């Protein structure tokens, strides 16, 4: 006898939170009547599931937006993710969508209002300007912690001298001293180069020793220069010392003692291997050219003034040798300035210096420091020595002797040895007189006759090159 099993009854659908009355009202609004309780309960549960799904997705948008409040935009984003037509939540006045009624055969249809463009008006309007393409440039943002005064960097707040800046102040103000807590915001000024208290004391004592009176100047100055030449950790003082030397030279050119001290400062800075002076060449070279070509020194035969010019030329030669490879145009620019001074160009060196024999001697020494080839071209081929010889005619015997001896020493160092055997020929003497002038030619034949042959052979080589 077979046993018959009756099918199990389906479990009743449990009602959720969403009310079934709303389902019946919606069904009646679309013409569905007689909706049973089980169907209404099932539809209410499905609606509740869909609403929960939308809220969970909206919750994700809220959390990713770092908010704790659910906004209408989160609901719209969730509907878009679930591929459901989004509802139109409140929008700003500028973004409220507008519609226009479009009549069709099936009835009116409402579509979004598109902005109409008048082609004639659009064609008459001028084309917008093209934006400039990207460009790049290089500048010194900071040099050893110091921002240079260039247009790309912020300007300093105060106009105090750069070597009198106060020590660094605390970054934040004390809020307890401010009676109004709401206005306690601190405005930080642009970065300035501030010296520590120890470096400020060192700077004051160093400058005092360099400018000390003549009674004890020698010992104090030598000690200061020795310290500057060998002490490490003075990188922060380099810009201040360079500016100090430039200011003192420009205001005390007639005082050879102070100029001597400032040249010692520059020499010590170059000698100190722990210092980085390359960024300050644009300040050091004008200082050295000024001390080399100035007409404010005592007139010849002052030995101290001649020694200052020789020292300046030596420092220029060292800087060109060390940094000429990094700056290929440096030697040419210095040589151009020296050539203008040798020719007596008033526009370059001034009216007084153009007639000063000391300036011509300085340019002579400077050209020798630039290079032998440059000096030979300027002195022999361009007859630079002849201009010096003409200026010596108005000098007394001692001054003339110093100038001529300096010219002869330079010629001995820059000219190659001559292969000519005859040095007393009339032809050689005439050519030397044309190039060097009568005074220097007579002095050459008197003290160093073989130098005349070197001058003539060099002159012939230059003519051959031309």
Find the helix or strand (DSSP H, E) in which 104 lies: strand 99-104
Residue of 163, 182, 176, 314 whose CA lies nearest to 247: 163
Mean confidence (pLDDT) of the chain: 78
| Contact between residue 210 and residue 224 where contact means Cβ atoms under 8 Å apart | yes
Residue entry with tokens 């002159």: 459
HSE-CB for 442 with a 13 A CA cutoff = 6
Q: What is the per-residue pLDDT for 460?
A: 66
Q: Does the structure show a pLDDT above 80 at 291?
A: yes
Measured CA to CA, the distance from residue 11 to residue 198 in angstroms comes to 92
CA distances, 47 to each of 21, 60, 146, 339, 416 (Å): 13, 20, 70, 97, 107
Tens-place pLDDT, residues 122-148: 888 888 888 777 888 887 777 766 777
Residue of 177, 179, 231 whose CA lies nearest to 203: 231
pLDDT-derived band at 288 (thresholds 50, 70, 90) equals: very high
107: three-class secondary structure by DSSP = strand
> Which of 53-67, 285-299, 319-333, 402-416 shows the highest mean pLDDT?
53-67
DSSP per-residue string spanning 48-78: HHHHHHHHHHHHHHHHHTT-SS--HHHHHHH
> Which of 32-36, 105-109, 156-160, 222-226 shows the highest mean pLDDT?
222-226
Cβ-count burial of 357 within 10 angstroms (0-12 exposed, 13-18 middle, 19+ buried)?
buried
The token pair that represents 93 in the structure block = 């006045």
Residue entry with tokens 């040589």: 335
Q: Does the structure show a pLDDT above 60 at 91?
A: no
Measured CA to CA, the distance from residue 394 to residue 268 in angstroms comes to 39
**Percent of the chain's residues with pLDDT above 90:** 14
Q: Return the higher-pLDDT residue of 374 and 140.
A: 374
Q: What is the per-residue pLDDT for 221?
A: 86
Residue of 448, 454, 449, 461 whose CA lies nearest to 416: 454
H-only helix segments in 176-280: 197-210, 217-230, 238-251, 256-271
- Domains for the chain: give ranges and CATH numbers: 10-90 (1.10.20.10), 196-276 (1.25.40.770), 277-465 (1.25.40)
| Mean pLDDT along residues 182-188 | 50
């Amino acid at each position: 006898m077979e046993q018959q099993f009756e099918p199990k009854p389906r479990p009743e659908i449990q009602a959720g939170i969403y009310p079934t009355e709303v389902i019946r009202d919606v069904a009646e609004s679309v013409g569905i009547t007689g909706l049973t309780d089980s169907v209404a309960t099932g539809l209410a549960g499905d609606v509740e599931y869909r609403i929960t799904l939308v809220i969970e997705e909206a919750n994700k948008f809220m959390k990713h937006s770092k908010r704790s409040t659910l906004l209408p935009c989160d609901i719209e984003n969730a509907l878009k993710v679930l591929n459901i037509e989004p509802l139109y939540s409140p929008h700003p006045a500028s973004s409220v969508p507008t519609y226009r009624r479009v009549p069709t055969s099936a009835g009116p249809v409402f579509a979004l209002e598109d902005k109409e463009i008048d082609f004639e008006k659009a064609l008459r309007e001028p084309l917008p300007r093209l934006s400039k393409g990207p460009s790049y440039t290089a500048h010194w943002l900071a040099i050893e912690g110091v921002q240079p005064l260039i247009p790309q960097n912020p300007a300093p707040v105060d106009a105090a001298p750069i070597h009198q800046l106060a020590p660094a102040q605390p970054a934040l103000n004390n809020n307890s001293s401010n009676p109004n807590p709401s206005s306690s915001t601190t405005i930080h000024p642009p970065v300035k180069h501030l010296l520590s208290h120890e470096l400020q004391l060192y700077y004051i004592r160093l400058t005092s020793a360099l400018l000390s009176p003549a009674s004890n100047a020698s010992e104090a100055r030598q000690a200061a220069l020795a310290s500057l030449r060998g002490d490490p950790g003075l990188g922060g003082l380099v810009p201040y010392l360079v500016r100090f030397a430039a200011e003192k030279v420009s205001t005390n050119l007639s005082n050879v003692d102070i100029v001597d001290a400032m040249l010692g400062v520059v020499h010590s800075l170059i000698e100190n291997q722990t210092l980085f002076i390359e960024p300050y060449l644009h300040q050091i070279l004008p200082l050295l050219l000024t001390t080399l070509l100035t007409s404010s020194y005592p007139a010849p035969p002052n030995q101290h003034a001649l020694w200052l010019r020789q020292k300046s030329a030596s420092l220029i030669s060292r800087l060109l040798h060390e940094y000429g490879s990094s700056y290929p145009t440096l030697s040419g620019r210095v040589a151009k300035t020296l050539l203008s001074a040798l020719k007596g160009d008033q526009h370059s060196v001034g009216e007084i210096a153009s007639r000063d024999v000391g300036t011509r001697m300085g340019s002579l020494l400077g050209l020798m420091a630039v290079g032998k080839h440059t000096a030979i071209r300027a002195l022999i081929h361009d007859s630079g020595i002849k201009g010096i010889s003409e200026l010596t005619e108005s000098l007394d015997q001692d001054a003339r002797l110093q100038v001529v001896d300096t010219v002869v020493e330079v010629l001995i160092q820059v000219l190659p040895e001559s292969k000519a055997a005859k040095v007393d020929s009339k032809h050689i003497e005439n050519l030397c007189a044309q190039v060097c002038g009568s005074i220097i030619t007579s002095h050459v034949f008197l003290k160093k006759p073989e130098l005349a042959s070197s001058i003539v052979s060099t002159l012939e080589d230059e003519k051959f090159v031309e």
